[in-house]
Amino acid sequence: MKAHLSRRYRFSASHRLHSEAMSAADNQATYGKCNNPYGHGHNYVLEVTVSGQVDEKTGMVCNLADLDGFTEQEVLSRYGHENLNTLKEFASEVPTTENLCIKIYEIVHRKFPGVHLERVRLEETMMNSFEYTGGGAPRF
């Protein structure tokens, strides 16, 4: 019997949307107020959804404590209270929430064995959320 488990987490981070491949005018036209030289911050809501067979012994898809511990150590401590522009994974790409969502998916997919990662969803604001399911472009 396959079941899905979704878990929500919160973290705060800042970023500036700016591409070195574009002129200052193009950056301003593309990113608007998000191109502020001083950056801006968000209180992100991260949702990780995994799936798998319900273990007959435990009755669970995966242990919540394991998922929480992993997410705290590998994701929240990496990105929480950080300026995303200063992190090595964004040295050559713009730290949009789309790209952040993909990075988080890759971390969970690579390092959390035993369950199938269905999706990572990241809410940037009440009005914006991004979802990535692997293997292609993010869904909006």
123 annotated active-site:
no
In angstroms, rounded to a whole number, what is the distance separating the alpha carbons of residues 131 and 97? 10
Q: Which of 34, 89, 106, 131 is catalytic?
A: 34
34 annotated active-site:
yes
47 annotated active-site:
no
Spatial contact of 132 and 111, defined as CB atoms under 8 Å apart = no
Q: Which of 4, 40, 81, 93 is catalytic?
A: 81
Here the tokens at position 28 are 């301003």
Q: Which of 18, 98, 101, 124 is catalytic?
A: 124
How far is C-alpha 24 from the chain's CA centre? 27
Nearest Cα neighbor of 47 from 81, 4, 110 is 4
* Catalytic sites, residue numbers: 34, 81, 124
